[in-house]
A and B are shown apart, each in its own frame.
Chain A
């Protein structure tokens, strides 16, 4: 069973727009929530991560919003650029553990 559910499966955004990808989890033992970005022909790479003691984390144009009570977190990409076109994966892990559970992935296309 998928413990981390991700939506949408694909997303098309115009250049300059905001891209929003959502994830939901069920296991309340999860306490680390990273997002990975994967370009075609490459392995995923860490983009940004959050822990549940904060509700938001921002790094440049990328922001994670975290809602602990709803067990949801989302990635917002502001001023989306064609170079952001990639597959994005949310993930979660439990305290003290190095094992990640990944969502299904979202293929983002930013049109010029």
Chain B
């Protein structure tokens, strides 16, 4: 079974702090994704990566950056957290960058920025 793990289930941070969200997948997947989930807005793609050190902006990249130094790990960075970044953050992975594969999601990190 594919397993996608996220470093924290709940996180409370203060405005202006630098925040790191970590995601690890154990199935040698090429693609990794970061989404945020907000009620009534669905899942919105922040960034994705199709290979180590490669990244592409999603629909809402402003205020975020990402890092993928190893194939299994994809980090989301909030350089200076703001209250409007309070949300549920979901990481996902899929096998191949060239095919429409199932995305496997982690359990999510609920971030509260005070």
Using CB atoms and an 8 Å cutoff, list the residues of chain A in contact with chain B: 2, 6, 9, 32, 34, 41-46, 49, 89, 93, 96-105
Q: Does B111 contact A (CB under 8 A)?
A: no
Question: Interface residue count for B (Cβ, 8 Å)?
Answer: 29
Closest residue of B by beta carbon distance from A43: B105
Question: Binding site of A, secondary structure by majority: helix, strand, loop or mixed?
Answer: loop
Query: Which residue from B4, B50, B102 sits with its C-beta under 8 Å from A46?
Result: B102
Q: What distance in Å separates the Cβ of A12 from its nearest Cβ neighbour in chain B?
A: 17
* Cα distance A99–B99 in the bound complex, in angstroms: 10
Given contacts A42-B108, A104-B41, 15 further A-B contacts (CB under 8 A): A41-B107, A43-B92, A43-B106, A43-B107, A44-B90, A45-B105, A46-B102, A49-B102, A96-B99, A98-B31, A98-B94, A98-B96, A99-B33, A99-B58, A100-B45
Interfacial chain A residues near B41, Cβ < 8 Å: 104
What 7 A-B pairs come out closest when comparing CB atoms? Answer: A43-B105, A102-B43, A104-B42, A32-B100, A102-B42, A46-B102, A105-B42
Distance A41 CA – B107 CA, assembled complex (angstroms)? 7
Task: State the CA gap A6–B31 with chains docked (Å).
Answer: 26
